[in-house]
Amino acid sequence: MRLSSRRVVGWILFALALLLVITGLGITEFRVVTPLTLGILGKSLSFQLHSLLWIPFLAVLLLHMVLSCRIRR
């Protein structure tokens, strides 16, 4: 089965969006997220990851929009 570039970009965008939500919850609800992630995702690491993920998220979102809006031949 061959994956199209649009599908791959869509899955990457989904993963980044999910990470943004999880790290955002890790910042605000760290008392819940830290035990759920077995102590891996604390408040400070969540904040660092959340801050770093915005640029890749926006870049992949833009790529996803460009691939979705291009005219098919």
How do the domains of the chain map onto residue ranges?
5-66
Q: How far apart are CA 22 and CA 14, in angstroms?
A: 12
Q: How far apart are CA 33 and CA 35, in angstroms?
A: 6
Q: How far apart are CA 73 and CA 69, in angstroms?
A: 12
C-alpha torsion 23→11→13→38, nearest 10:
10
What tens digit of pLDDT does each residue of 49-66 get?
Answer: 999 999 999 999 999 999
Q: Check pLDDT > 80 for residue 45.
A: yes
- Residue 14 has a pLDDT of 96
Q: How far apart are CA 28 and CA 9, in angstroms?
A: 29
Residue 38, sorted as left (phi over 0), alpha (psi -120 to 50) or beta, turns out to be left
The whole-model pTM stands at 0.81
